[in-house]
Structure 1
Amino acid sequence: MANSLQDQLLKAGLVKAQSLKQARSTQHKQSKQSGGKSVETTETAEARAAAERARIEKLERDRELNRQRQEESALHAAVNEIRQLIHANRVVRDGGDLVYNFTDGVTLKRIYVNKEQQAKLVAGRLAIVRQDTFYEVIPAEIVARVRERDPSLVLVFNEPAAPAAEDDPYAAYQVPDDLMW
C-alpha cells in the first residue's frame, strides 16, 4: 500500500513504463513552470475568492462594531463629565426655608432654598439643573459648560436681561423680585 498509484498500475500491467515516465516528466515540467506551486483549478480559485470576500466582510463588521463602541464610550464619558461638573460646583442648599417652584417638562417641582439663593436664582447668578432623579443649584458660570454637553439638563436659568428698549411702555415699572407663584 505504500506504493503510489502509478507504481501499482505499472505492476498490474495496466500502464507501460514509457507512458509512466512521460507523465512524471510532464508533471515535473509543470511544477517547475509554476514555481513549485501546484496548478490552481477554478474550484480552488472560487474558494479563495469566497474566503477573501468573507475576510473583507468580517473586517467591515469589526470596524462598525468598533465605531459603535467608541461612540458609546464617548457618550458615557460625556455623561460622567457632566455629572462630575455638576457635583463639583453645586451650591449647598442646607437650611433652605423658602420654596422655589419651577417646571420640569410639564410637571411642577419645588426645591427649598434660603433668601440669598432665591435672590441669585431670580437675578440669573444661579441656575437649577437636573442630575439623574434630583435637582441641583449651580453657579451661572457652569451653566454654559453644562449646556454645551446637554442643554436639556438646565431647567431654570434666568439670564440677565438686556437693557430695556427705549420704546418699551413698561420700562418705568419694576417687577418685584420677591413675587412668589
Structure 2
Amino acid sequence: MADSLRDQLLKSGIVKQVRDEKRASQPPAGKPAHKPFHKSANKPAHKPTGQGGKPQQPPAHKPRDGEIDLAKAYAIRKQAESTERRQAEQAAAEEARLKRERKQKVQELLQGQALNKKDAEHARHFEYGGKIRRVYVDQAQLAAINAGELGVVQQGGHYLVVTRAIAEQVRQIDAHHLALLSEPGAGGVGEDGVPDDLVW
C-alpha cells in the first residue's frame, strides 16, 4: 500500500541528490576536489579580536626593499636637524667664549700702556672697520706713528696709542683690535694728518 520510505525518497529526488553530492565530493584521479557551495561562504569571516574584545587592526603596510617608511624618514630628518642645530649652538657658544677670553687678555695687556695725551692737537686719520677714524696725538707721536714706532689699538670704543711692541702683542691675541700699525718706510702723511695713500 504505502510506499516504503526509500521509495518515497527516490520519488522526491532527495536520494538522487545525495548520490550526486557524494560523487561530486569524490574527484576523479588527478583532479582536485571541488568544495560544494555553502551559503556561509558568502558571509564575512569573523574578525579576530584582541584584548578587550576590540577587533585587531590589519598589519601595517610593510615597505618594500629600498623603500623608507615616510614617518621614519621624517624622524630621521628631524633628528639630523636637531643635531645640526645643537652643534651650531655649541660652536657659537665656544666662539663667544674664545672672543671673551681674547678681549680679556687684550684689556689686561693694555692696562697702563696707553700713551694718549689730553692736550694733543694733531689728528691722525686711518681706516678701521670700513670707516675713516682719527686719534689725536702730538707732533712727536704723529711722526712715530707714521714711522711705525707707535701703533693704535681699539679697546672699548676708544683708540689708544701704544708702543709697537704692545701693538704686535695685541695683533697676536686678536688682530681685530689692532687699528693702525704702519710698516717702517710706508707712505708719508700730509700736514692735515691724512696719509698720502688713504683714499677718502
Structure-2-length-normalised TM-score: 0.45
The structure number with the bigger radius of gyration is: 2
Structure-1-length-normalised TM-score: 0.49
More helix by share: 1
